[in-house]
Amino acid sequence: MTPANPNSDAILLEANGPVAVLTLNRPKARNAIDDAMRADLVAALDHVARTDAIKALVITGAGQGFCAGGDVKSMQARLAVPQGEVALNGWRRQQRTHHAISMLHALPKPTIAAVNGAATGLGCDVALCCDFIIASEQARFAMTYILRGLIPDGGGMYFLPRRVGLSRAKELIFSGRTVEPEEALRLGMIDRVTTADALLNDARGWAAELSKGAPAALALSKNILDQTFELSVEQVFAMGSQAQAICYSSKEHQESVAAFLEGVAQRRAAKAKGEAA
């Protein structure tokens, strides 16, 4: 496992075979995300997106937690600047946060959050923006922003209602309460629960299973599916037509059709030979 950025070890990226594992690596801070870690995350995600050999991504946390959200020390530093600069500095930090979350959400490959411990605030958003979430029995989820006088700023107000419905999302965001794995599974907030010992192996196996399909077809399907709640059926059909035209020209489609036709020819030849005999 090697750092995604040689100047920092806050993000570790391991790629053995088609599945890469990205580890949030600030265990002493419960993997809370600061500015440097956010930049390293963007660099790692860019590497995963550009590396054809990587077919899927698992994201997890080092130590006992998945991610405790935004680093409180960074929050303190943000408030320490001159009053007239607080808003602009905060806006800039928001832009960087949204860039990182958007990159993870839009990654043209399957993504799985393997939640090994507490996923709170921004950490919960990071998990929710992945395609799937698998949690250990030790995982905990909480939209704790309101306890800091803040709103969910890492995509939780977009991702959470799509998983649990609007009313339940409001309840979880307004209360900031902790959700344990079995309840999270029941609500649809997560997709699977496993043991702590099996978490990474189960996540890797699931990611490998999800990434066996043709990369172009998978990436295009994901791109359209992620927009369907905001689109009309006519728009989805139009986007699907364009995506299918791209798939028609892909080597995976052409090789699949050729292999199918070759198989049909072989079966017909074998049948004709049997009848002649």
- Looking at 210, 230, 258, the residue that finishes a domain is 210
Residue type, position 185, single letter: L
pLDDT of residue 3: 47
CATH of residue 107's domain is 3.90.226.10
Lowest-pLDDT choice from 6-15, 21-30, 134-143, 187-196: 6-15
CATH of residue 255's domain is 1.10.12
Tell me the pTM: 0.90
Residue 221 sits in the same domain as residue 240: yes
Residue 62 sits in the same domain as residue 97: yes
Residue 35 sits in the same domain as residue 85: yes
How many C-beta atoms lie closer than 10 Å to residue 119's C-beta?
31
Using alpha carbons, select from 155, 116, 158, 162 the residue that is nearest to residue 139: 116
> Which DSSP string corresponds to 60-123?
EESTT-SB--B-HHHHHHHHHS-HHHHHHHHHHHHHHHHHHHHHHHH-SS-EEEEE-SEEETHH
Residue 117 sits in the same domain as residue 165: yes
Residue 67 sits in the same domain as residue 147: yes
pLDDT in tens, 175-199: 999 999 999 999 999 999 999 999 9
Cα(203)–Cα(39) distance, rounded to whole angstroms? 25
Residue 123 sits in the same domain as residue 43: yes
Residue 127 sits in the same domain as residue 93: yes
Residue 17 sits in the same domain as residue 136: yes
SS3 category, 59: strand
Q: 60, 24 in Cβ contact below 8 A?
A: yes
pLDDT in tens, 68-80: 998 766 655 656 6
- Looking at 184, 210, 236, the residue that finishes a domain is 210
Residue 135 sits in the same domain as residue 204: yes
Residue 51 sits in the same domain as residue 168: yes
Residue 100 sits in the same domain as residue 150: yes
pLDDT of residue 137: 97
Q: 33, 70 in Cβ contact below 8 A?
A: yes
- Looking at 166, 195, 210, the residue that finishes a domain is 210
Residue 186 sits in the same domain as residue 253: no
Q: State which residues form the domain around 104.
A: 2-210
What domain count does the chain have?
2
Residue type, position 209, single letter: E
Helices (H), the chain: 35-50, 72-80, 83-106, 122-128, 156-164, 166-175, 181-187, 199-210, 215-225, 233-248, 251-276
Cα(10)–Cα(12) distance, rounded to whole angstroms? 7
Q: Is the pLDDT of residue 2 over 60?
A: no
